[in-house]
Amino acid sequence: MQKITPFLWFDHQAEAAMNFYVSIFKNSKVLSVNRYGDAGPGPKGSVMTANFELDGQVFTALNGGPVYKFSPAISFVVHCETQAEVDHYWQKLSEGGKEHQCAWLDDKFGVTWQIVPNALIKLLSDPDPVKAGRVMQAMLKMTKIDIATLQQAYNQA
C-alpha cells in the first residue's frame, strides 16, 4: 500500500469521476466501492467512497456533499513523453471542463490537471537563459502545450 493517497471530495459524483478517470489512463482499475448503509449520512445504497488506481497511483473519492469545492491550488500533473500523449490526455480530461493557460485544465468535475510534456521541463531547464527564456515566452502563449512550437522557440537563432 502506498504511504500517501490523494483523497478527492465530491458532492455526489465520486463514482462517475472514478469511472471517467479509469477510462482515460492506461493500467487503471476500480479497486473498491463502498456504499452508505442505514446509518447514512448519504442515501442508503449510494456511493460513500470509491477507491481506484490510475497508472499505479491509488486515489480515493468520497461523496461528501456540497461542503467543499476543488481549487487549482491542488492539481495533478500528467507527465507525457510525446505530443500524441499530450493530445490524448488534454482532449479527454478537458472534455466538458475548462482550459487554462500553460498546460492547466479543470475537468468536468472541477479537478485541476496539468498536462506537461517532459520536453517542456527539459527545455526550461536549459543552462542557457536565453534559450530557456524563449521557451517560457512560447509556453505562456499556449493552453495545451505544443512540443514542436517549444522546440522552434528553443532553436531560434
Given a contact cutoff of 8 angstroms between Cβ atoms, the answer to whether 13 and 66 are in contact is no
Range of the domain at 59: 1-68
Length of the chain: 157
Given a contact cutoff of 8 angstroms between Cβ atoms, the answer to whether 112 and 77 are in contact is no
Whether residues 78 and 145 share a domain: the answer is: yes
Whether residues 79 and 152 share a domain: the answer is: yes
Whether residues 53 and 77 share a domain: the answer is: no
Domain finish residue from 31, 52, 68: 68
Domain finish residue from 52, 68, 84: 68
Whether residues 60 and 75 share a domain: the answer is: no
Whether residues 60 and 85 share a domain: the answer is: no
Given 3-state DSSP classes, what are the helix, strand and coil percentages for the chain, each rounded to the nearest 5?
Answer: 30, 25, 40
Alpha helices in 27-146 (DSSP H): 83-94, 118-124, 129-139
Whether residues 91 and 145 share a domain: the answer is: yes
CATH for 117: 3.10.180.10
Whether residues 95 and 47 share a domain: the answer is: no
Whether residues 62 and 88 share a domain: the answer is: no
CATH for 46: 3.30.720.100
Rounded-to-integer distance, Cα 105 and Cα 119, Å: 19
Whether residues 58 and 77 share a domain: the answer is: no
Whether residues 64 and 74 share a domain: the answer is: no
Rounded-to-integer distance, Cα 22 and Cα 107, Å: 14
Given a contact cutoff of 8 angstroms between Cβ atoms, the answer to whether 123 and 151 are in contact is yes
Domain count, the chain: 2
Whether residues 61 and 86 share a domain: the answer is: no
Whether residues 86 and 35 share a domain: the answer is: no
pLDDT of residue 23: 98
pLDDT by residue for the chain (157 residues), tens only, comes to 789 999 999 999 999 999 999 999 999 999 999 999 999 888 999 999 999 999 999 999 999 999 999 999 999 999 999 999 999 999 999 999 999 999 999 999 999 999 999 999 999 999 999 999 999 999 999 999 999 999 999 999 6
Q: For residue 104, what are the β-bridge partners?
A: 114
